């Protein structure tokens, strides 16, 4: 159990009309956290409106309230500006630069109310009149769960579903390094409140189309592992034959993690003649962003990407050579 | 929290020298449950010996105590018979026919003591002076966890690791239909007692050998889905070519669950000429134990197995026909 920052509950109780904003390219953690918080505030008579710059991806449509998130253009077309709200809550992000990109920054320019931040990301932002930032928390959903309980609000079945989903997404269904007894206890309480674990898992991870499955079968046949580095590719022919699209290949790069002592993974996707998109992943301290940068790409330490224009074998050789300098 | 059957705790406290037996082809649930129970009994001064007809598969070697399980031939070569023990506990099985196959049945023929059963399987058996069978429990590990707590014995780090592993294995790392708030609460308590969730996940699911990965590539190429029923097989040739063994194919049957609207999965493993081992899995109310029973096998509602002696195509057709009556 974690205690909300001083002032946050007063802020929530003393305001009436909230806009709750999440980061763009939203995931299950920000969506579930914001939706549950919105429902909780409504249950004590508050008015809430949900903001997300990006359209919510279809795999999250099962989450109750996910249909309520509105983009800036939807607010504008209804003649609603941020001045219409007396309070702003930023959830699972700690600055407006993670909420709106350049062209939409002006949406919040006429906001005159008070703002609060509820987040678990490392912060370097000064944004927010009230900040509740807990970088050691595995999911913002766990913070919102604690907050709702602390406010004495009953967790409904839909809040439980949203918060359980938030936790599952940010812990890889209880398999990442961030899983501890607190995560499992929160999940247990949410299951008791009506979240159905297998249903949520199934919605998130067991919804592959036949095309996606056929593409996977082709891609996995190309898997090789050399000195702890896994290589896989998807040719245009494989996409054509399976009927799958680029989105269907998402996360395929993670599969080789099943292999013992794996250090890094590369997934090459053919996007044109002598033209490949490479997704790079690694475990621990191996910084694949350094490799991606050498080919004009970028990313994070354990997840990066770049584009290579070369023959397939040459592209593989070049990536392999760079990766081997790291391991 | 579940309460052990009347008499079980008295039985454990009043006996001194236990042989604890698990089912052959042991999984993480029986191994972890038996090892944790053994450690708990030793902590109150009892003598315990672990019995398993089959050598423990390498993926479970990380479990503390897994090296202690002895096969019948190892007992014999040390001149130890079942008459050497005053009490027998059968864990994660409820009859000796799940513990020893024909040739080893005589091992228990000279056992003259009392016996207890701790199990969560449905199959009915008259075996055991004391029976604690809870078919609704997701894992025997949860029962043993409750039992150890009920006996007032402190859960050590190694017991926690064994019991957490037991739960993870029988719930598919918290993704099967059997996951509920009790499962997650037990897991939370075990994580608090020292089990490290991400380490256990990695040991169980991210430790594939090259042979296993090669076998998977061959098996996944055979995947077909017909009316929501997935079929895959592993021929002897695939095992020979990949260098993998039977244990390497464990859990392959779960993979097709990624497919949308999947109802059931079948994985056939060739064990001899016209001789297949079938693993059956299902979601929700589809009771594959009923199908397995028709072929002389058994199991749980969502996870069962049987042996079929027939041509491959005929075996598939027969299983398909029976499964289709359920969906």
Q: What's the CATH architecture for B8-204?
A: Alpha-Beta Complex (3.90)
Q: For the residues of A50-64, what is the DSSP string, one character each?
A: EE-SSPPPGGGTTST
The angle formed by the CA atoms of residues B96, B97 and B98, to the nearest 5 degrees, is 90
Residue of B nearest to A176 (CA): B198
Interface test with A, best of B206, B255, B302 (most A CBs within 10 A): B206
Q: Please, which contacts does B235-242 make with residues 24 or more away whose CB atoms are closer than 8 Å?
A: B235/B270, B236/B270, B239/B215, B241/B214, B242/B211, B242/B212, B242/B214, B242/B215, B242/B218
Shortest distance, CA B184 to any CA of chain A (angstroms): 5
| C-alpha–C-alpha distance, residues B91 and A293, integer Å | 55
List all residues of chain A from 225 to 244 with a beta carbon under 8 Å from chain B.
Answer: 225
* Domain parsing of chain B, residue ranges: 8-204, 210-324
Q: Is A176 on the interface with B (CB under 8 A)?
A: yes
pLDDT, tens only, B62-118? 999 999 999 999 999 999 999 999 999 999 999 999 999 988 999 999 999 999 999
The angle formed by the CA atoms of residues B291, B275 and B213, to the nearest 5 degrees, is 90
List chain B residues with CB under 8 Å of A185: 184-185, 188
Residue with tokens 């190694």: B158
Q: What is the CATH number of domain A8-205?
A: 3.90.1640.10
Are the Cβ atoms of B188 and A182 closer than 8 angstroms?
Answer: yes
pLDDT, tens only, A94-117? 999 999 998 899 999 999 999 999
Are the Cβ atoms of A221 and B216 closer than 8 angstroms?
Answer: no
Q: Is B222 on the interface with A (CB under 8 A)?
A: no
pLDDT, tens only, A153-196? 999 999 999 999 999 999 999 998 899 999 999 999 999 999 99
Residue A177: its pLDDT value, please?
A: 85
Shortest distance, CA B159 to any CA of chain A (angstroms): 16
Q: How confident is the model at residue A285 (pLDDT cuts 50, 70, 90)?
A: confident
* Pick from A175, A192, A260: CB nearest B208: A260
Q: What is the pTM of this model?
A: 0.89
Task: Give the E-state strand segments of chain A in sequence order.
Answer: 17-22, 47-51, 87-91, 114-119, 130-133, 224-226, 229-234, 264-272, 275-282, 298-299, 303-308
pLDDT at A123 over 80: no
CA distances from B227 to B279, B324, B326 (A): 18, 8, 12
pLDDT, tens only, A249-276? 988 998 999 999 999 999 999 999 999 9
Are the Cβ atoms of A175 and B191 closer than 8 angstroms?
Answer: no
Residue of A nearest to B196 (CA): A180
pLDDT at A1 over 70: no
Cβ contact B132:B158 at 8 Å: no
Which distant-in-sequence residues (6+ apart) come within 8 Å of A200 by Cβ?
A: A161, A164, A165, A168
Run of H or E residues at B277:
strand B275-282
Residue of A nearest to B222 (CA): A217
Angle between helical axes of A28-43 and A140-150 (0-180°, round to 10):
10
Shortest distance, CA A79 to any CA of chain B (angstroms): 40
* Pick from A187, A220, A225: CB nearest B220: A220
List chain A residues with CB under 8 Å of B173: 173-175
- H helices, E strands: number in chain B: 11, 11
Q: Is B189 on the interface with A (CB under 8 A)?
A: yes
3-state helix, strand, coil in chain A (%, to 5): 45, 20, 35
Q: Mean pLDDT over all residues of chain A?
A: 94
| C-alpha–C-alpha distance, residues A18 and A27, integer Å | 21
| C-alpha–C-alpha distance, residues A298 and B5, integer Å | 60
Cβ contact B123:B298 at 8 Å: yes
CA distances from A317 to A229, A267, B156 (A): 12, 13, 49
Residue of A nearest to B223 (CA): A217
Are the Cβ atoms of B198 and A177 closer than 8 angstroms?
Answer: yes
Q: In what order do the strands lie in the sheet with A224-226?
A: A224-226, A229-234, A264-272, A275-282, A303-308, A298-299
Which distant-in-sequence residues (6+ apart) come within 8 Å of A60 by Cβ?
A: A26, A27, A28, A31, A66
Task: Give the E-state strand segments of A164-285 in sequence order.
Answer: 224-226, 229-234, 264-272, 275-282
Are the Cβ atoms of A210 and B259 closer than 8 angstroms?
Answer: yes
Are the Cβ atoms of A260 and B198 closer than 8 angstroms?
Answer: no
Residue B1: its pLDDT value, please?
A: 63
CA A7 to chain centre: 28
Q: Is A9 on the interface with B (CB under 8 A)?
A: no
3-state secondary structure B81-116: CHHHCCEEEEECCCCHHHCCCHHHHHHHCCCCCEEE
Shortest distance, CA B294 to any CA of chain A (angstroms): 28
pLDDT, tens only, A27-51? 999 999 999 999 999 999 999 999 9
Q: Which CATH class is domain A210-324?
A: alpha beta
* Pick from B174, B209, B262: CB nearest A206: B262
Beta-ladder partners of A268: A233, A278
Nearest by Cα to A276 from A241, A319, A244: A319
Which residues, given as ranges, of chain B have pLDDT below 70?
1
CA A86 to chain centre: 28
């Amino acid at each position: 159990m974690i205690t909300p920052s001083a002032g946050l509950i007063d802020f929530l109780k003393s305001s009436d009309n909230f806009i709750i904003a999440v980061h763009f390219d939203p995931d299950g953690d920000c969506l579930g956290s914001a939706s549950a918080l919105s429902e909780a505030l409504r249950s004590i008579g508050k008015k809430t409106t949900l903001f997300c710059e990006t359209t919510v991806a279809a795999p999250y449509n099962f989450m109750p309230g996910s249909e309520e998130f509105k983009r800036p253009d939807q607010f504008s077309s209804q003649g609603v500006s941020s001045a219409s709200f007396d309070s702003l809550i930023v959830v699972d992000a700690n600055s407006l630069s993670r909420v709106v990109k350049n062209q939409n920054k002006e949406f919040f320019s006429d906001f005159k109310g008070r703002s609060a931040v509820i987040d678990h990301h490392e912060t370097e932002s000064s944004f927010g009149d009230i900040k509740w930032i807990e970088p050691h928390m595995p999911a913002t959903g766990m913070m919102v769960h604690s907050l709702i309980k602390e406010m004495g609000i009953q967790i409904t079945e839909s809040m439980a579903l949203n918060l359980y989903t938030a936790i599952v997404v940010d812990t890889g269904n209880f398999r990442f390094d961030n899983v501890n007894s607190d995560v499992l206890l929160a999940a247990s309480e949410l299951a008791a409140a009506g979240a159905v674990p297998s249903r949520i898992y199934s919605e998130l991870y067991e919804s592959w189309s036949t095309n996606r499955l056929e593409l996977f079968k082709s891609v996995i046949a190309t898997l090789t592992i050399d000195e702890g580095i896994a290589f896989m590719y998807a040719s245009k022919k494989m996409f054509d034959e399976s009927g799958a699209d680029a989105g269907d290949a998402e996360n395929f790069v993670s599969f080789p993690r099943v292999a013992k002592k794996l250090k890094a993974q590369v997934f090459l996707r053919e996007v044109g003649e002598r033209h490949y998109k490479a997704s790079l992943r690694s475990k621990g301290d191996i910084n694949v962003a350094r490799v991606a940068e050498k080919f004009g790409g970028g990313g994070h330490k354990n997840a990066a990407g770049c584009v290579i224009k070369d023959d397939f074998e040459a592209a593989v050789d070049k990536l392999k050579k760079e990766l081997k300098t790291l391991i």
